Homo-oligomer: A and B are copies of this chain.
């Protein structure tokens, strides 16, 4: 049984946690045996490392590559193994839908299928501009066999959408219809356990999928795209069935007011699911084009109203998945500019700045790997060590040693004066 931590509930100081999604890497030949963090010009990150205490952190446990949702739950202090209930609810929350305890939510894609329901394009040519209208055509459809189930659909960005099934006797234990590869047929969704709820939910999803295909095939946007030689969005792929995690929100657990500054729906959703407020920042796009300094400015502006602000920056992970070293280095340098704005604009006597990644993403392998991520924490009273540079290799020499993701927020709460003695 995991220790039930308790917190004082009134932090004396504030914390800004910057998560550079996937900035952590392995040494690569493309960069002459260095990691992108070693190569990038990062004077401000290095300041955090030099004035702070450093270490490496296994988001879940050593050697295990975490998904971003699991990693974020862990970094916020929730044991991801006990807490994780699928990705869908985070996506639905992230696009701004209200999610209830009994809802089963999905992360969906518009896709292009042929007459045999084989997938030609998993993203329907990314259908910029028309996703919202198509999603509206799907929202609220009725199911003849399941009249008590509400189908709630909302567009996210490009080809992405979130879907909620709301009604009695639903289960998240169902498989994906998305085979994750093209030239394969849409998969029939199956129950993943023997409960009647799971087989019922699988039937419902398959029925929804069929109706969506009919609606989308005949939609004027699809007709027009076909006429223009573009792949029509004539199907929806379902994956990541999930429910809300059953946890105490940070407002109760730590007694803090917390804010996330992020563009990506999933990151916003994870944080919302544990009680964070969410704001929109103009220019923050969740891509490599994002305006990182705008995010820093939003954090600084909102600092008076919050105890804990998480700034999430996605671009470096995308660059890693694309195997684009140059872009990854540039993205890290853009995060450095974000850090510079924080260093220049917050009261460093009362604000802790922590810098880390949610996982290591290998440029060479274009995927998440299990190496730990570098971590640096700067602020009043930290045991500054001799690390001079923020990188995977340098931080491993730091005073924090090697910790686990689930320990990060308790450490930050303690530094910020929000801990309670355990025992007497």
In whole angstroms, how far apart are the Cα atoms of A404 and B402 in the complex? 11
Q: Are B63 and A419 in contact (CB under 8 A)?
A: yes
B370 touches A410 (CB 8 A): yes
CB-based contact A423/B67 at 8 Å = yes
B1 touches A421 (CB 8 A): no
Q: Do A407 and B5 contact each other (CB < 8 Å), given the known contacts A27-B384, A364-B381?
A: no
Expressed in whole angstroms, the minimum distance between the Cβ of A38 and any Cβ of chain B is 10
Question: C-beta contact mask, A50-87 vs B, less than 8 Å → 1, else 0?
Answer: 00000010001111111111110000000011101001
Contact size class for A?
35 or more
Question: Inside 8 A of A409's CB, which chain B residues have their CB?
Answer: 63
With a cutoff of 8 Å between Cβ atoms, the chain B residues found around residue A286 in the complex are: none
| Contact in complex: B393, A67 (CB < 8 Å) | no
> Is A338 an interface position by the 8 A CB rule?
no
Report Cα–Cα, A107/B412, bound state, in Å.
32
| Contact of B27 with A410 in the complex, beta carbons under 8 Å | no
Q: Check if B392 sits within 8 Å of A423, measured CB to CB.
A: no
Q: Chain B residues with Cβ under 8 A from A247's Cβ?
A: none
B396 touches A64 (CB 8 A): no
Q: Residues of B contacting A367 with CB < 8 Å?
A: 421
Min distance, Cβ A61 to any Cβ of chain B, angstroms: 7
Residue A122, interface by CB 8 Å: no
User: Chain B residues near A371 (CB, 8 Å)?
Assistant: 383, 414
The chain B residue sitting closest to A407, CB to CB, is B62
Pairs across A and B, CB under 8 Å, 20 listed: A1-B81, A1-B82, A3-B61, A5-B64, A62-B404, A62-B410, A63-B412, A63-B414, A64-B422, A65-B420, A65-B422, A67-B422, A67-B424, A70-B422, A240-B424, A365-B417, A367-B421, A368-B421, A383-B392, A385-B393
